Structure 1
């Protein structure tokens, strides 16, 4: 019986809200659960690729940019199974994605649906596909949302500007659902959250009111996030006892249950 692949876009056009951190550490936790995971880095900054990839994006022949602009036959060349995270494969991002976005707009009849078409052969091959989106509502994010079955919206809880532009994002999601009616919101994920701070309490209330659904796990502020990125590893590998590591573990377990994924119980501790 083939797998029912779940594709999760992690999107918010506000920068610095934890999109890449969420993708990388969820991928690591899902991989530890025995699930097969593919990370697609759709951000021209390629931070997810720099974090978990064993090559520099400039050394990769077929990145997301080339994949979007090519025939689907290039898909096997784009997937790199050897990463720093066990059980996690990667399609690299690159600076070329900026150029690819312009070419998609000018040269393709359905510019928001290119990624979805390219990923069709992967259906059933992975348990999960995680898409790291750029801080933009342009064509790259539209392609991610059109290809996804689910959406997570990370919100920087510790910032008074954390909800800036969320209304525009939700309107964009509504528009994308015209071409992808299966897109389901898993919830907003509060990042850098400290329930003792008034700004975090206020922002949590605003997020619940505007977005409607919050994930039950809160990700705290931690210097270990940057340390893990510099070490090209996951938070769990860096320090499994840290609170931020435990919360990402709980988030992965929650999502696995909600998505109906069968995980290896021996890895759940």
Structure 2
């Protein structure tokens, strides 16, 4: 069941977490179950779901010293264990107020695509101590997340990833953490900004994928595609850079093999506001003053998600695509929907 996708780019602030949250929102509203693994020491995906890791005081086993430890199991404990199937034990179900959907609301107002059916969002959180974890890793240690996620705890059982329609890994800029994530994934989806540093990071990220294939013996990982983040269509620089990237890809230039998907996440305060509120962008579909931009962002995210489901070979991909086109009123359909018709 090759349903694990690592959101990757060798640059901070490229939009990996934003895209992870948007896709998780779309999958849940499509009625599918999604597991998000936060592999960024900043823990922004955990924060975006309203489930940040909090440190609590505990007593030392000897002496009177006060120590701090996380209030929940995190990806650190999962990796340190490395035991088959143990990822299940660290999953938190996202049920925070901001991420609670009104099942009676129509889809174009932030409700579910299929009446009454909202998918479950699971989370394995992260926090800053993750940054120090890779320092002592030996070659075999890069298999640890894969073991916990892709292998069943008991013979004949189901591995943790089999319990979810899609597993998304939100990665960090740290190369060793990126390798750990890539070793657990079957696909990588590149996300970056349409600005110089963002474009320069594309071949660097492809080099990391090739390194994982060749030197970490994981030749089954494929690059699914590339999606632009914080895109401003009227900005000349953005248009020029994305055009150059497309030419490099079409020309077969080395390290530019990632297919460029025609779905640009617009630059808008709706996204940053959703992060601040620990709520999905779809929550803004009920507000008249923010609805138009929220609809544009949601439709880009939904189109990207449907393309991802196609690439994964999900059995409901075609049915969901048809229902999606019917769920949005014709007058509210943006260009991205019309192009997929």
Provide the TM-score with structure 1 as the length reference.
0.89
Partner residue, 2:17: 20
1:244 aligns with 2:290: no
Partner residue, 1:76: 88
1:153 pairs with one of 169, 185, 190: 190
Partner residue, 1:192: 230
- The unaligned stretches of length 5 or more in structure 1 are none
Q: Over aligned residue pairs, what C-alpha RMSD do you find?
A: 2.1
Partner residue, 1:231: 277
1:140 aligns with 2:202: no
1:219 pairs with one of 265, 272, 281: 265
1:1-269 matches, within 5 Å, as 4-54=1-51, 56-58=53-55, 59-72=70-83, 74-84=86-96, 85=99, 87-103=120-136, 105=137, 108-120=138-150, 121-136=159-174, 138-157=175-194, 159-178=195-214, 179-208=217-246, 209=248, 211-212=256-257, 213-239=259-285, 241=292, 242=294, 243-261=296-314, 262-263=316-317, 265=320, 268=324, 269=327
Larger Rg over CA atoms? 2
Q: Distance in 2 between matches of 1:55 and 1:17?
A: 21
- Identify the range of structure 1 (239-248 vs 195-204) with the bigger mean alpha-carbon deviation: 239-248
Q: Distance in 2 between matches of 1:152 and 1:91?
A: 19
Match of 1:190, SS state, is strand
Quote the offset at 1:74 in angstroms: 4.2
Q: Distance in 2 between matches of 1:15 and 1:125?
A: 31
Q: Distance in 2 between matches of 1:34 and 1:225?
A: 22
CA deviations on 1:150-204 (whole Å, 9 max, x unpaired) are 11111201x2322123322211111111322121111111111122221111211
- The unaligned stretches of length 5 or more in structure 2 are 56-69, 100-118, 151-158, 250-255, 286-290, 328-341
Q: Distance in 1 between matches of 2:309 and 2:227?
A: 15
Contact kept? 1:19, 1:132, Cα under 8 Å: yes
Contact kept? 2:37, 2:168, Cα under 8 Å: yes
Provide the TM-score with structure 2 as the length reference.
0.71
Q: How many residues align?
A: 261
